[in-house]
Amino acid sequence: MQDDTTGQVNNGDGVVFPADDKGPYFYLRLPNSLQSDYNREYIIADPAQSIGVKYDIILVACVPNADSGILLENMITTIGQYNEETLRISRMLLNPDDVLLQELKKIKKENIQAALQKLPENCGLCSVHFSFTIPFVFQPLKCIQSPCLNC
């Protein structure tokens, strides 16, 4: 998850971005909110009975001594092989400075400038923005589960 105040991405065990001690790494940044999608391809039966749930996801890769262009090509190819019907690539960032600005946009400007200055010239840093939509079928009211954890 990305912290809204610091811009840092944390995987539960610690900060994964920005971090220059990880070696090659990748992470997926998931949205804080989901969208509904009423396109016919995601509706299982009657439109009143199902919708598509759309996740906008960003895959970020940071690989020392790597060519960002080849790294980006590999990421696009890998994502594209997953499921072409429910996955749509929407945007790609190839310039490492642009990726860094995207990922650190919520932190102080002077810290962003320091990160840009410390970014190694030969670091492969790129990102792919894509959406992934899954069908969600409404359950009959008699089948709704209790959300209580300690009921």
Q: Report pLDDT for 108.
A: 81
Q: Report pLDDT for 92.
A: 95
Alpha carbon distance 5, 59 (integer Å): 21
Contacts of 5 (CB under 8 A, 6+ apart): 106
Q: How far is CA 41 from the centre of its chain?
A: 23
pLDDT, tens digit only, all 151 positions of the chain: 666 555 567 677 776 665 555 567 788 888 778 888 777 665 555 556 778 888 899 999 988 888 999 999 999 988 888 766 778 899 999 988 888 888 888 778 888 788 778 777 888 889 999 988 888 877 777 767 777 777 6
Q: Report pLDDT for 69.
A: 92
Q: Report pLDDT for 22.
A: 55
Q: Report pLDDT for 145.
A: 75
CB-facing half-sphere around the CA of 119: CA atoms within 13 A? 24
Helix (H) or strand (E) holding 110: helix 109-118
Q: Report pLDDT for 7.
A: 56
Q: Report pLDDT for 88.
A: 87
Q: Answer whether 0.75 is exceeded by the pTM.
A: no
In the chain the domains, ranked by start, together with CATH numbers, are: 9-136 (3.30.2000)
Q: Report pLDDT for 16.
A: 63
Q: Report pLDDT for 64.
A: 84
> Angle formed by the axes of helices 109-118 and 96-103, to 10°?
150
What SS3 state is found at 20?
coil
